[in-house]
Amino acid sequence: MRSYPNLELIEYKCKIAAYELHKNTLKDAIFVKFKIDTFMQTWGDTATGFDANEGYCAGQAFTDEYTTVCEMSWCRRDKEKRWVDIPDKIYGVFFGNRMAYMFINPNEKFFDDLKNRNMKSQRYALKEYA
């Protein structure tokens, strides 16, 4: 049985990655909401979703790993110095305590897979969710 993911660490990693990856979108923005969804997912090998590298090496064994999906909302001040929400939402996906990928406003396939508790691995996420 896998240990539960460290949600405090995941929140921290997700915020830092969002700022780093989306500096232009989040310029002068502040974080306002953070939603998390964690569930167990079974993988066909021990890479547990980290298969983006063509030369990845993993054992051939069914492996359970927690998947955590983070939704982040942000806001910024407008010209009149009022706080307004940024309509874009950023989603970070973690397998275990490691970030797998991050998207701004992913497509419907992302939300279908989230509802079905079957997120794509790194190799297929960009093709499926962008």
| Stretch (H or E) spanning 69 | strand 63-77
- The reported pTM is 0.86
The CA distance from 41 to 68, in Å, is 10
The pLDDT, as a whole number, for residue 56 is 58
| Cα separation, 38 vs 46, whole angstroms | 19
| Mean of all residue pLDDT scores within the chain | 86
Residues 98 and 8: their CA atoms lie apart, in Å, by 13
Instruction: Inform me whether the pLDDT recorded for 102 exceeds 80.
Output: yes
At 47-56, the pLDDT tens digits run 787 876 666 5
Q: Is the pLDDT of residue 63 over 70?
A: yes
Q: DSSP secondary structure string, 29-43?
A: EEEEEEEEEEEEEEE
pLDDT digit string, tens, across residues 28-48: 777 778 899 999 998 887 778
